[in-house]
Structure 1
Amino acid sequence: MTYLLYPPLILPCPCGWRNHILAPPSSTATTMNPVQRRGLSGSVQPGQDFVGRSRSRSVRCMANPRRVKMVAKQIQRELSDMLLTDKVLQFAVLPEASLGADRYLSSLTTISDVEVSSDLQVVKVYVSVFGDERGKEVAMAGLKSKAKYVRSVLGRRMKLRLTPEIRFIEDESFERGSRVIAILDKIKNEKSLENQNGELSDSSAHDDDNWDDVDPDEGIIYVD
């Protein structure tokens, strides 16, 4: 019984940050029996196993978590700057800006958070849009339509070998938080108003009790 080993192949990782090992998915050692050895002697081609099948290799790519966080922060900074300076992105978020509207209205759209996958292949961009429902729909649709453009600009700015895929997601956490705060304020105001009404009613009842022992004719002079 003969054991032949496939040495691991070191190639640049598609993520562009480091080198990773490319290896067969099942095992690095393959067994060939005597019949296979006689029948395939000298016929094994590069990139094939002992029975003539192509060897598939898989990439094990896991970037350093610290590196992932650094990339996420840099992407958030670049996207925030693009919302303020890039006219293509501004017109996508606020179409009225192309007609002469104040371009600084794009500040109503902010990047609240950025999540990068562990293999640096996908970026989820959470966007907060402050405005009416129509404005939110237009802004999100414009951002999603410019995802490829944003990806290419980020690649030039950050000089990445492989720029990750950009996915824009609406972040509703701020809006939900604002609604919760408004509800709590409303409940607080209602309780305060009830307490004030209770104090007024108690003071009125106390004033009525003080007049029980008072003669209504006291101090009045009647003339016949």
Structure 2
Amino acid sequence: MSSSRFSRGSGPSQRQLRVGELIRRTLSDILSRGDVHDPELNRMSITVGEVTTSPDLKVATAYVMPLGGQGADEALVALRRHKGELRHLVAKELTLKYAPELRFVLDETFDRMDATRRMFADETVQRDIARHDEDEDGDD
């Protein structure tokens, strides 16, 4: 019996990754050029960190964060208010069969990285790391 061509593996397909990256770049360009008809949104410098797509490519979730992290809630409200216009602008620049529905979520990657740095800087963790390194050195 042959395996399914559309395997439900652990991660997204190459096509999903490629389309997500195309949408991310296009969305970033649109926001940096100020193509949306909203002075409030155009004043914000918004970073699009990643775009993930559904398997059928009909839904794209954009992980966004305003520069410096200030005004994140206002940025999300503005992006969601203009998601139809943004969808139209993205579709105009890409050659997809369907224009994906855009969803916007705050990118929490930087917060998680800071939390991880704080965790590794903790005195107890540093002691455990040093003890582990000493154990490995003694195995020679």
TM class by smaller structure:
0.5 to 0.7
Q: Partner of 2:92: helix, strand, or coil?
A: helix
User: In structure 1, what residue type is equivalent to 2:53?
Assistant: V
After TM superposition, the score normalised by the length of structure 1 is 0.44
- State the match for 2:104 in structure 1: 168
**Aligned ranges for residues 57-136 of structure 1 at < 5 Å?**
65-88=13-36, 91-93=39-41, 97=43, 106=45, 109-129=46-66, 130-132=68-70, 135-136=71-72
- The list of structure 1 runs, each at least 4 consecutive aligned residues, that deviate by more than 3 angstroms after superposition, is 89-94, 182-185
Contact 2:36-2:86 at 8 Å conserved across structures: no
**Structure-2 separation of matches of 1:92 and 1:164:** 24
1:174 shift after superposition: 1.1
- Cα displacement (A) at 1:163: 0.4
Aligned to 1:39: none
Which structure has greater helix proportion? Answer: 2
Q: Distance in 1 between matches of 2:24 and 2:32?
A: 13
1:116–1:124 contact (8 Å) kept in structure 2: yes
| In structure 2, C-alpha distance between the alignment counterparts of 1:143 and 1:89, rounded to whole Å | 11
Cα deviations by residue, 1:148-180 (Å, 9 ceiling, x for unpaired): 111000111113332011001112121122133
Q: Which has the larger radius of gyration?
A: 1
Letter in 1 for 2:17: K
Report what 2:94 is aligned to.
158
Whole-angstrom CA distance in 2 between matches of 1:89 and 1:138: 16
Compared with structure 1, are the counterparts of its residues 184 and 168 closer, same or farther at alpha carbon in structure 2 (3 Å cutoff)? same
Q: Spell out the pairing of 1:9-48 with structure 2 (5 A cutoff).
A: none
Q: What secondary structure sits across from 1:88 in the alignment?
A: coil
Q: What is aligned with 1:145?
A: 81
Equivalent pairs counted in the alignment come to 113
Q: Is the 8 A contact 2:51 2:60 kept in 1?
A: yes
What letter matches 2:87 in structure 1?
R
Matched to 1:75, the amino acid is I
Unaligned regions of 5+ residues in structure 1, if any?
1-61, 98-104, 192-224
Distance of 1:180 and 1:66 partners within structure 2: 29
Contact 2:30 2:89 in 1 (8 A): no
Counterparts in 2 of 1:92 and 1:167: CA distance versus 1, 3 Å: farther
Equivalent pair of 2:64/2:104 in contact (CA under 8 Å): yes
Per-residue CA deviation, residues 6-39 of structure 1 (Å, 9 max, x unaligned), is xxxxxxxxxxxxxxxxxxxxxxxxxxxxxxxxxx
